[in-house]
Structure 1
Amino acid sequence: MRTALVRRTVLTASAVSLALLSTACGADKADTKPDAKPSAGAASSSAAAPAGKAKTDAELAGVIVVQADLPEHVVKAATPAEAAAAAGATSDKAECLPLVKAQSMAAIGTAAGTARTKAVAKPAQPAENASPEEKAKAAMGALGATATAVTLASYEGKGAEEAFTAIKTAGTACAGGYTGSQSGDSLKITKVAPGASVTAGDGALAYTVVGDADGEPLTMELVVVRKGNTLATFSAVSLTGTAEQPKAVVDAQVKKLG
């Protein structure tokens, strides 16, 4: 089953909980309070803006996307367990660790503040008079909705620029693949390629990351945006195996960063 395969990805807990969330509850029950626990350690860009002072956990919690910002998604705060798991994400290749961290809701390097949340696109709802078969089909379709993990990390000095550069360097060095691990699960990545171009903030990166899940391809989308001294990462996955680039989530988050 695809669900079992996705459990082996480096975004395990987030992907599965989001998929279940999309079918089990509505936006009125979504959690709008983002997790703000600190964690350890094809591009487009514009002129760099002054970094300014790093934001704290609390300040980032005030600017990360919430339910009101994404009416066509269900937004759910990351749990402390997910934050702890993210901190332990590893790679078999040191040069690829920034990519694994970006996919795992973890800050790259040492961040002064972090915040995390998750968003899943709302599935199309069946008509009130839909047949049981149609309702079952809609429920299965909901599992294919793209689930996006959003992480904000703020840095002192040039930390955000350095983290951004580390991911960019890893995107080139690790194009041929690596293995990412988290909480005892691992996923072999076979390819990292430029994704659909993204223009946002003071610099943006977009990658399509393909994994090998028990012989079946698992295509994920990764977007990274730097705004001043804050780095925003967006890691998208689908339980059906092919995620869409989370443009609406990226746009809403960049807008909140100002």
Structure 2
Amino acid sequence: MLKARTAALAATTALCLAAVACGPEGKTSDQDGGKASSAPAKPSGTPSSDPAASDSAAPSPTSIPTSSGKVLDKAGLAGIALTTGEVGSYEVTPMQGGEETGTERSESEDCRPLVAVINGAPEPAPAATVFRTVMDRSQEDKDDRTVVTEILTSHPKDAAQQVMRGVRDAVRACAGGFRTSGADGPSTYTEVKQLPLPPAGQESIAYQVTGSIEGNKVPLLFQLVRTGSTVVTFYVADFLTAKTPRLPAELVAAQAARLP
């Protein structure tokens, strides 16, 4: 069972971050087999051939942003989230369907940070969380429309750094995949690999987790960006092909620039 938070469209059956339950052996309970009618857009380039070769990416020393270190509350996070019109034709809306996080449990302690991100609840637990959905209005009638989930979290003390460190270590430890369990049965993720996406913020890491729906490979792309006590998680999936989905770099850069 691959359970997740709403990450694509309200009418989309999603694999990850969508609170949509699939039965055992990856069989979705929805009639469309879990394929999104408006899945994320085209591939974003070639994944790193050696995920362990590079640590969590960071900007060059001359471009590392400064931070106030302030731990934002929910209203503060909402205030720094991107809004419609700030980046090209992208429309930004609050997460549809509520903000209930997933409940998948990792069968491996080493992979727990990855499952926490899949659940929409990075660990250590945040002080506040805000969810946004970002869609490209110029692609409204396209099957491969870009749909990005954005999760902003704030963390006390050094917990934001712990989130990044935990995910970075888990990407390395869980390269061969991992399994989760939940109320509707187990899920299997077959591969984890780090991706060479452009760095952002004071610290960032991008990686792909490969899941499955009815035996079909479904690539899930995540990028986490941290500045100070704030972490933003970007998520995009491709439900139509097995290719690495595209995460628009301009969205990441624009949101990273707003982190305090």
TM-score (norm 2): 0.72
Q: 1:227 to 1:204 in 2, by over 3 A?
A: same
Task: Give the CA deviation at 1:13.
Answer: 2.9
**Residue 60 of structure 1, aligned match among 77, 88, 97:** 77
Task: Give the CA deviation at 1:172.
Answer: 0.7
Partner AA of 2:75 in structure 1: A
Other-structure match for 2:57: 44
Instruction: Report which stretch shifted further, 211-220 or 11-20.
Output: 11-20
How many Å separate the matches in 2 of 1:212 and 1:244?
Answer: 18
Other-structure match for 1:225: 225
Other-structure match for 1:134: none
Secondary structure of the structure 2 residue equivalent to 1:45: coil
Which consecutive residues of structure 1, in runs of 5 or more, have no partner in the other structure? 1-7, 25-41, 126-138
The answer on 1:118 being equivalent to 2:133 is yes
Task: Give the CA deviation at 1:66.
Answer: 1.8
Task: Give the CA deviation at 1:9.
Answer: 4.3
Other-structure match for 1:249: 251
The answer on 1:14 being equivalent to 2:3 is no
**Residue 90 of structure 1, aligned match among 105, 110, 115:** 105
1:172-229 per-position Cα deviation (integer Å, ceiling 9, x unaligned): 1111111346774764211111112321111110112222322211112110111111
Task: Give the CA deviation at 1:10.
Answer: 4.0
The answer on 1:75 being equivalent to 2:92 is yes
Partner AA of 1:216 in structure 2: N
Secondary structure of the structure 1 residue equivalent to 2:190: strand
How many Å separate the matches in 1 of 2:172 and 2:10?
Answer: 31
Secondary structure of the structure 2 residue equivalent to 1:67: coil
**Residue 106 of structure 1, aligned match among 121, 126, 132:** 121
Partner AA of 1:63 in structure 2: I
Instruction: Report which stretch shifted further, 164-173 or 204-213.
Output: 204-213
Aligned length: 216
Partner AA of 1:171 in structure 2: V
CA contact (8 A) 1:150 1:234 kept: yes
Other-structure match for 1:153: 153
Q: 1:112 to 1:149 in 2, by over 3 A?
A: same
Task: Give the CA deviation at 1:244.
Answer: 1.2
More helix by share: 1
Other-structure match for 2:33: none
Secondary structure of the structure 1 residue equivalent to 2:251: helix
How many Å separate the matches in 2 of 1:183 and 1:76?
Answer: 30
Task: Give the CA deviation at 1:159.
Answer: 0.7
Other-structure match for 2:28: none
How many Å separate the matches in 2 of 1:74 and 1:182?
Answer: 33
How many Å separate the matches in 2 of 1:186 and 1:143?
Answer: 29
Secondary structure of the structure 1 residue equivalent to 2:110: helix
Task: Give the CA deviation at 1:143.
Answer: 3.1
CA contact (8 A) 2:92 2:133 kept: yes
How many Å separate the matches in 2 of 1:181 and 1:104?
Answer: 12
Task: Give the CA deviation at 1:153.
Answer: 0.9
How many Å separate the matches in 1 of 2:201 and 2:177?
Answer: 28
How many Å separate the matches in 2 of 1:254 and 1:18?
Answer: 29
Other-structure match for 1:207: 207
Q: 1:143 to 1:203 in 2, by over 3 A?
A: same
